[in-house]
Amino acid sequence: MSENLNPFAIAQAQLDAAAEILQLDPQMHAFLREPMREFHFSIPVHMDDGHVEIFKGFRVQYNDARGPAKGGIRFHPDETIDTVRALAAWMTWKTAVVDLPLGGGKGGVICNPREMSQGELERLSRAFMRNIARYVGITQDVPAPDVNTNAQIMSWMVDEYEVLMGHREPGVITGKPMELGGSAGRPPATAMGGIFTIREAARLIGLPLEGATCAIQGYGNVGSFAHKLATEVLGMKVVAVSDEFGGIYNSQGLDYDSVFAHVKSTGRVPGYPGAESVTNSDLLELEVDVLIPGAIENQITGQNADRIKARILAELANGPTTPEADEILAAKNIYIIPDFLCNAGGVTVSYFEMVQNAQQFYWDEGMINDRLDRKMTTAFHAVHNMAQSKKVSNRVAAYLVAVDRVARAVRWRGWV
């Protein structure tokens, strides 16, 4: 039978496993299995050629017991409500595992931004904000960038919101440029948070990181910063990187500055001189110390899990490993840093951005990284200790820590 790769079915199956161990009562389990609220919008946008295109958009507020919902907005041709639901659920567990006073949400628009002009993108971004404006805000729900959305799109959205409301409220959106109240250290934050967890995992399993080998799938915001920081902060040798077009490998290590310059000028990883080609599937199976999936979902499945050879699997992407793969990896003594722990650095610095916006007082990058390190290291050990004490995988342990925190907040509120 083929694996069910519907991300929401996977998110629910992961919750079910945690609920059983936590012995959640059936009502609490049923409540946490579904989003609390979701909004579906039809969004008309005037296109450059004069016709009106109707886009479909979603915002899911999965759970806000611990604080305002928090989560990005994706623009993607293959967006589905189930992807948005799954990502909103993972945001709920992610903000809880790093103990931020926030809930979880996610948004998306079915569109192909690569085929849209800047003017069309601006009109779509502003129209999306007009649709969600009454449901978001610093006390309700705070969106951010995600796949195919960026600081420019966040700027249009925050501007639209402030025009509608008649006052400045920069904290309604994070991932803004510095000029509009963005935070120092936000662009590298997801990768930086992951680097702190790799450092802790390596200490635990006795792996010296200086000169250790690393392969990274994906070379966008997360993957390219992971290359830079794995080299600069941990002293690792990054031997392979890839993007959607393919990968490159050099056993002597790939120099970050020149690979990054190559990707910037050509728009793709393959074609970099001084390295062999490697496919995305071969990259995952390389004999490296640390493997970082930093691209998309469902990359490590029942089909290839038994060929993964890394000692640490640091999941910077969301949902890169399927439940069937998890079972196979569990028998292989690979130290897995599960996605919503490993990649929580982004939302943590987004939270710092909200705090700075509220205070109208801004911190430097050193302070951001110190505070990020403390949050990530504390969360890492909470999950590791839970895994040890309950004799479960790190992924299940991350769910146990997070779901328990959310359930407690729900109970204190008297909802269930």
Residues in contact with ligand NAD by the rule CB under 6 A: 147, 190, 217-223, 242-244, 280, 294-296, 316-318, 343, 346
Q: Which residues pair with 337 in a beta bridge?
A: 314
Q: How far is the CB of 49 from ligand NAD (least distance, A)?
A: 27
Q: How far is the CB of 114 from ligand NAD (least distance, A)?
A: 11
Our CB check for ligand NAD shows the closer of 127 and 341 to be 341
Q: How far is the CB of 354 from ligand NAD (least distance, A)?
A: 15
Our CB check for ligand NAD shows the closer of 222 and 240 to be 222
CB 316 within 8 A of CB 191: yes
> How far is residue 15's CA from residue 255's CA, in Å, rounded to a whole number?
40
Our CB check for ligand NAD shows the closer of 255 and 282 to be 282
Neighbours of 98 (CB within 10 A): 24
Which residue's C-beta sits nearest to ligand NAD? 220
Sheet holding 69-76, edge to edge: 37-46, 52-63, 104-110, 69-76, 141-145
User: Could you give the 3-state DSSP secondary structure of residue 371?
Assistant: helix
Our CB check for ligand NAD shows the closer of 116 and 316 to be 316
> How far is residue 167's CA from residue 312's CA, in Å, rounded to a whole number?
48
Question: Where does residue 291 rank: exposed (0-12), middle (13-18), buried (19+ CB within 10 A)?
Answer: buried
Q: How far is the CB of 19 from ligand NAD (least distance, A)?
A: 24
| Active-site entry in 94, 106, 176, 375 | 106
Structural element, H or E, at residue 321? none
> How far is residue 371's CA from residue 213's CA, in Å, rounded to a whole number?
28
Our CB check for ligand NAD shows the closer of 31 and 175 to be 175
> How far is residue 393's CA from residue 405's CA, in Å, rounded to a whole number?
18
> Among this protein's residues, is 106 annotated catalytic?
yes
Q: How far is the CB of 54 from ligand NAD (least distance, A)?
A: 25
**Active-site residues: which are they?**
106
